[in-house]
Amino acid sequence: MPAYDHNNIFAKILRGELPCHKVFEDDKCLAFLDIMPRAPGHTLVLPKTPARNILDIAPDDLGYVMQVVQKIAKASVRVFGADGITIQQFNESAGGQVVLHLHVHVIPRREGVAMKPPASFKEAPEVLAEQARKLSAALAG
């Protein structure tokens, strides 16, 4: 397995070198909206520890990420009126992973509405800002 690349785009977001529409942060995790959402409210949950994916993260760190994933999934149901939630997590390029810092996709779903294809649509920043505001408020309250 190749080494973790500290210059990947999510590492830069974690260091604050690039912006994101943040929905949650604590000492171990950061969650922000995907800029090319497959459905409204599509959120990415990352550990702060430098792990490429499920193959190199420590089990406890992975477990904590999944606790945050569950919180965001539950809040997404309330905020986006979702009928269901799709969770995706890809590992290495052969497994569909594009950005090589571990992240879990939390995708709110509506009955009968298909997900957009990956990277097919870039959401307007003002829409992402409003969705992030609502989701982070629901998580805080």
Catalytic residues, which ones?
A: 103
User: Please, are residues 24 and 136 in contact by the beta-carbon 8 Å criterion?
Assistant: yes
- Contact range with ligand 5GP by CB under 6 A, out of 30-38, 54-62, 78-86, 131-139: 30-38
> Is 106 one of the binding residues for ligand 5GP (CB under 6 A)?
no
> Is 87 one of the binding residues for ligand 5GP (CB under 6 A)?
no
Q: What angle do CA 11, 41, 114 make, to 5 degrees?
A: 115
> Is 9 one of the binding residues for ligand 5GP (CB under 6 A)?
yes
- Count of residues that interact with ligand 5GP, criterion CB under 6 A: 13
Q: In what order do the strands lie in the sheet with 29-33?
A: 22-25, 29-33, 43-47, 104-109, 84-88
> Is 35 one of the binding residues for ligand 5GP (CB under 6 A)?
yes
> Is 20 one of the binding residues for ligand 5GP (CB under 6 A)?
yes
Tokens (6 digits) for 13: 């977001």
